[in-house]
């Protein structure tokens, strides 16, 4: 095995790792900007300098050459080297800034150089607080600058595309963004224009940066040059609270971070998961903030008379009792219960148990596949996050025709999540005269057409798991409080600075951002009490445990295991596969 000595410590390694990657993996620090582990390393920011040498060996004998003191002779590279593109070799000696003053000096000078034309408008820069340039300058930068001349001006707030805004003055020309469109999304939409102190990224004239993955460049950009058109100036990074979650806008199950402030999801960024999405996510997935914050169903609502155009606010008790009355006054054969691939495993599981215990039927579901919308990367045909979950639970799958027929024959329908009207599967005409009880999260068209709406928690308000298109089960965490949860008491929720120090008497805390909704398992638990059953689940974990004892594939599947292994790959049985 090959060996390398870094700052006096010997490490052994296999293969040809890049030096920077290796040093970072040893919990040591080397400042860098342009390097990214999943892209090529052009070594153009010159920040990651280290001193590198090699022990001298006698060509004939293969023995180490020794100096007068009997120490091994070292042949140093004539200049400092960039560690990001340096292949490690046996017998290398490396000095980082920790042990070498020249390296320290190189870091200082590189930063002074990079900052020559930098606007330094951190106080109004979106990147401040999570800016590598800011951080590295604090750690390794010079005290001041010797540059006293007017700075070079470059284009500001350039709309590169519908979602990305460029401030060229802040750009340090690391080319991470252009490499992303060349190597990862392969849309080749970005290039660097001009040169010297005038260069910055741009698109070809007459084209715009509308790559379906364009916003990844915002996360990649080591400075505040590329910013989100939507999120710009909305919040300082340190005011937000960061909670891991899942992208539920399609079946890929991309891992994300949800950034909330005062219970509003302000932005969504990808979370690294080598098994699913690497470092990336779709632009569409970031749009889910609107789904989580806006047009939310809050407090049950009821249509008092079939002819009424809108629903009126009701209460939870009233909603439960109305549900009971409706169900009890209807022939069970005329009741249709619909599960949903948009809801989690736990929700569908609890729903199924409720339906089987009280309504004596297995819920059915329909898939939402749009053929041709997948691209082999993170966009997939399956529009719903948990189609495999429904399959695994054994819900009855219906084709569009079978579904329409079932709806036509039913008098009372209890449905979850899906907006069949928006999807064009049902017209409002077709559900006229039916009693539709809708358990959903948003004011969808389905909610507007329903008789009774019962608001349930969405993916950012509860802990629940989803099975993606590759049959990997992963879970969410609550990021947003509801009217009934409290971050200080719920140890699963994290607290941001404002969450911790704000009170409802401050102007920055707004109770209105908490939605009056409950997890579905709690709702069906409360409902089942009316029939004398006790399906009491307080937490998604309770449902998952219960399911684990019934479904072999879910045996031993726990949140802990999902967390430890970045999701668990399930093996769905043959029959379930075939039906997908």
Partner 1 sequence: MSQKSSDNGASLSQNGTSAYKFTKEQLAEIEVLKTKYPEVQAVTLPVLWMAQDTFGHVDPEVQRLVAQTLDLPESHVHGVAEFYTQYFKEPKGKHVLDVCTCLSCHLCGGMDILGYLENKLGIKAGETTPDGQFTLQEAECLGACGYAPMMQITNDVYVNHLTPEKVDRVLDQLASGQTPDFESIPMPLVSTTSNNKAAGGSDE
List, in sequence order, the alpha helices (H) in 396-435: 400-409, 428-431
In the set 35, 342, 354, 537, which binds ligand FES (CB under 6 A)? 35
In this structure, what are the phi and psi dihedrals at residue 315, rounded to the nearest 5 degrees?
-125, 165
Structure tokens at 143: 């005290």
Q: Using CB under 8 A, pick the residue from 185, 277, 293, 457 that binds partner 1.
A: 185
Half-sphere exposure of 57 toward its Cβ, with a 13 Å CA cutoff?
Answer: 9
191 binds partner 1 (CB under 8 A): yes
What lies within 8 Å, CB to CB, of 464 at 6+ separation is 344, 345, 346, 347, 475, 476, 519, 540
Question: Binder to partner 1 among 54, 73, 99, 193 (CB under 8 A)?
Answer: 193
Residue list 196-255, contact with ligand SF4 (CB under 6 A): 201, 220-226
User: What gap in Å lies between CA 36 and CA 21, rounded to an integer?
Assistant: 9
| Residue 152 sits in the site that holds partner 1 (CB under 8 A) | no
Site track 209-228 with partner 1 (rule: CB under 8 A), x = hit: -xxx----------------
Instruction: Compute the residue count for the chain.
Output: 580
Among 3, 67, 98, 121, binds ligand SF4 (CB under 6 A): 121
Rounded-to-5 percentages of helix, strand, coil across the chain: 30, 20, 50
- Of 175 and 471, CB closest to partner 1: 175
C-alpha to C-alpha distance for 472 and 465, rounded to whole angstroms? 10
* Residue 93's binding partner out of ligand SF4, ligand FES, partner 1, none, with CB under 5 to 8 Å set by partner kind: none
| 202: contact with partner 1 by CB under 8 A | yes
Site string for partner 1, 376-395 (x = CB under 8 A): xx------------------
Show the tokens assigned to 304. 């008092």
For partner 1, the closer CB: 204 or 304: 204
Judged by CB under 8 A, the residue of 139, 188, 360, 538 near partner 1 is 188
| C-alpha 329, offset from chain centre | 44
- In whole angstroms, give the CA distance from residue 446 to residue 438: 7
48 is in the binding site of which of ligand FES, partner 1, ligand SF4, none (Cβ under 5 to 8 A by kind)? ligand FES
Provide the minimum distance between the beta carbon of 186 and ligand SF4 in the complex, in angstroms, as a whole number. Answer: 17
Q: Residue from 175, 340, 386, 474 that binds ligand SF4 (CB under 6 A)?
A: 175
CB of 103 to ligand FES, least distance (A): 13
**In contact, 468 and 251? CB cutoff 8 Å:** yes
**One of 174, 301, 378, 390 touching ligand SF4 (CB under 6 A):** 174
**How near is the Cβ of 180 to ligand FES at its closest, in Å?**
15
Which of partner 1, ligand FES, ligand SF4, none has residue 84 at its interface (CB below 5 to 8 Å by kind)?
ligand FES
**Contact (Cβ atoms closer than 8 angstroms) between residue 18 and residue 86:** yes
Nearer to partner 1, 381 or 526 (CB): 381
Q: CA 80, CA 134: separation in Å to the nearest integer?
A: 23
Measured from the CB atom, the residue of 144 and 205 that comes closer to partner 1 is 205
Nearer to ligand SF4, 153 or 290 (CB): 153
* Interatomic CA distance for residues 177 and 174, integer angstroms: 8
Q: How far apart are CA 457 and CA 417, in angstroms?
A: 11
Q: Within positions 82 to 101, which residues make up the interface with ligand FES, using CB under 6 A?
A: 82, 84
Q: What one-character-per-residue DSSP string does 287-355 give? A: THHHHHHSSB--S-EE-SSTT-SS-EE--HHHHHHHHHHHHHTS-GGGEEEE--TTS-HHHHHHHHHHI
Stretch that binds ligand SF4, among 96-104, 166-174, 251-259, 354-362 (CB under 6 A): 166-174
Q: Please state, in angstroms and rounded to a whole number, the distance separating the CA atoms of residues 163 and 181.
A: 15
E-strand ranges in 396-507 read 396-397, 412-416, 435-440, 452-455, 465-467, 472-475
Residue nearest to ligand FES according to CB distances in the complex: 84
Rule CB under 8 A: choose which of 88, 190, 393, 454 binds partner 1: 190
Residues forming beta bridges with residue 50, ordered by sequence position: 81
Query: Taking CB under 6 A as the rule, does residue 171 contact ligand FES?
Result: no
300 contributes a contact to ligand SF4 by CB under 6 A: no
364: left (phi over 0), alpha (psi -120 to 50) or beta: beta
Contact of 47 with 31, CB cutoff 8 Å: yes
Stretch that binds ligand SF4, among 139-147, 169-177, 401-409, 517-525 (CB under 6 A): 169-177
Strand partners, 469: none
* Closer residue to ligand SF4 in complex, CB, 192/291: 192
The reply to whether 3 sits near partner 1 by the rule CB under 8 A is: no
| Tokens (6 digits) for 433 | 């005269």
Q: Is 47 in the site for ligand FES (CB under 6 A)?
A: yes
Binding mask 15-34 for ligand FES (x = CB under 6 A): -----------------xxx
H and E: helices and strands count for the chain: 18, 25
Q: Which of 51, 95, 107, 118 binds ligand SF4 (CB under 6 A)?
A: 118
Residue 294 contact, options partner 1, ligand SF4, ligand FES, none, Cβ 5-8 Å cut-off depending on partner type: none
* C-alpha to C-alpha distance for 169 and 548, rounded to whole angstroms: 55
Stretch binding partner 1 (CB under 8 A), from 198-206, 294-302, 387-395, 410-418: 198-206
Q: How far apart are CA 239 and CA 259, in angstroms?
A: 10
157 and 165 Cβ atoms separated by less than 8 Å? yes
Q: Is 190 helix (H, G, I), strand (E, B) or coil?
A: strand
**Could you say which residues in the range 360-379 bind partner 1, by CB under 8 A?**
375-377
Question: What does the binding site for ligand SF4 look like in residue numbers (CB under 6 A)?
Answer: 118-122, 125, 127-128, 131, 133-134, 170-177, 201, 220-226
Task: By CB under 8 A, name the binding residues for partner 1.
Answer: 178, 181, 185-195, 202-208, 210-212, 375-377
Give the footprint of ligand FES on this chain (CB under 6 A): 32-35, 43-48, 82, 84
């Amino acid at each position: 095995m090959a060996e390398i000595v870094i700052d006096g410590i010997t490490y052994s390694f296999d293969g040809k790792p890049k030096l920077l990657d290796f040093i970072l993996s040893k919990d040591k620090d080397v400042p860098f900007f342009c390097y990214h582990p999943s892209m090529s390393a052009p070594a153009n920011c010159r920040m990651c300098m280290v001193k590198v040498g090699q022990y001298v060996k006698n060509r004939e004998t293969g023995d180490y050459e020794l100096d007068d003191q009997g120490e091994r002779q070292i042949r140093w590279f004539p200049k400092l080297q960039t560690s990001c593109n340096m292949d490690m070799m046996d017998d290398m000696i490396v000095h980082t800034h920790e042990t070498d003053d020249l390296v320290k000096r190189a870091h200082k000078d590189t930063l002074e150089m990079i900052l020559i034309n930098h606007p330094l408008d951190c106080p109004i820069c979106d990147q401040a607080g999570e800016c590598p340039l800011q951080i590295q300058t604090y750690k390794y930068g010079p005290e001041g600058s010797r540059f006293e001349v007017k700075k070079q001006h470059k284009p500001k707030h350039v709309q590169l595309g519908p979602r990305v805004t460029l401030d060229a003055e802040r750009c340090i020309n690391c080319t991470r963004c252009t490499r992303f469109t060349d190597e990862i999304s392969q849309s080749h939409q970005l290039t660097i224009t001009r040169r010297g102190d005038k260069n910055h990224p741009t698109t070809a004239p007459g084209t715009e940066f509308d790559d379906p993955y364009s916003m990844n460049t915002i996360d990649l950009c080591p400075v505040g040059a590329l910013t989100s058109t939507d999120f710009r100036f909305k919040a300082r990074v340190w005011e937000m609270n960061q909670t891991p979650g899942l992208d539920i806008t399609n079946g890929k199950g991309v891992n994300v971070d949800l950034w909330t402030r005062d219970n509003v999801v302000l932005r969504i960024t990808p979370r690294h998961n080598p098994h699913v999405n690497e470092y990336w996510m779709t632009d569409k997935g970031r749009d889910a903030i609107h789904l989580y914050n806006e047009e939310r169903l809050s407090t049950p609502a009821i249509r008092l008379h079939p002819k009424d155009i809108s629903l009126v606010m009701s209460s939870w008790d009233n909603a439960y009792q109305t549900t009971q009355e409706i169900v009890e006054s209807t022939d069970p054969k005329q009741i249709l219960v619909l599960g949903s691939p948009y809801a989690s495993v736990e929700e569908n599981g609890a729903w199924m148990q409720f339906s089987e215990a009280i309504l004596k039927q297995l819920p059915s579901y329909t898939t939402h596949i749009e053929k041709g919308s997948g691209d082999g990367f993170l966009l997939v045909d399956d529009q719903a996050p948990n189609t495999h979950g429904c399959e695994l639970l054994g819900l009855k799958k219906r084709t569009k025709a079978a579904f329409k027929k079932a709806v036509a024959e039913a008098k009372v329908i209890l449905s979850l999540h899906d907006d069949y009207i928006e999807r064009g599967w049902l017209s409002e005409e077709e559900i006229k005269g039916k009693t539709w009880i809708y358990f959903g999260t948003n004011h969808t068209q389905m909610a507007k057409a329903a008789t009774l709406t019962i608001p349930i928690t969405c993916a950012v308000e509860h802990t629940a798991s989803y099975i993606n298109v590759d049959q990997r089960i992963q879970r969410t965490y609550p990021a947003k409080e509801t009217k009934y949860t409290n971050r200080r008491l719920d140890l699963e929720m994290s607290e941001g600075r404002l969450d911790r120090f704000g009170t409802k008497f401050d102007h920055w805390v707004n109770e209105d951002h908490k939605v009056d909704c409950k997890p579905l398992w709690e709702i069906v638990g409360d409902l089942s009490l009316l029939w004398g059953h006790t399906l009491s689940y307080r937490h998604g974990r309770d449902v998952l445990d219960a399911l684990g004892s019934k479904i072999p594939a879910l045996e031993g599947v726990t949140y802990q295991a999902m967390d430890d292994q970045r999701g668990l790959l399930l093996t769905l049985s043959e029959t379930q596969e075939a039906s997908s």
